[in-house]
Amino acid sequence: MAKVEFYEKPGCAGNARQKALLAEFGHEVDARNLLAGPWTPQTLRPFFGAKPVAEWFNRASPRVKSGEIDPDALGPEEALAAMVADPLLIRRPLMRVGGRCEAGFDQDLVAAWIGLPSRPHGVNEACVRPSAGCGAPGADAKRNDGP
């Protein structure tokens, strides 16, 4: 099975479910703190591939939910600069296996990419605590891993 570099927001219940699913099906998960960086536009950009810029964003981020950041109005350079400055804006998890990178947890995509049963558990990237806004204070672990 695959060794997956898995960039998460520590304390995120959704990321915990995703990691558990990967491990359950034999993948080695190397969990890293997405918020610890240090990210640059060059290290972050490969995770988004051909996705439209608006799909690069964590729609549950407090700054997106409040309307301060409008993912639909930003170009690639502006989006990357905003994400480097505030990693809570980054759609997660970020995953890397070998030379391929992905953002978000589309279970069907992950199944086709590295092997998972197609939707046996219904794990996705939705926040399981939407009222917390995924920027909840106190959820940030002190692990200092980066890209």
Distance CA 142, CA 66 (A): 27
Number of alpha helices (DSSP H) and beta strands (DSSP E) in the chain:
5, 4
Token code pair at residue 41 = 């536009």
**12 part of the active site:** yes
Among the listed residues 12, 101, 127, 134, the single catalytic one is 12
User: In whole angstroms, what is the distance from residue 77 CA to residue 65 CA?
Assistant: 21
Cis peptide before 93 (omega within 30 of 0): yes
Catalytic residue set: 12
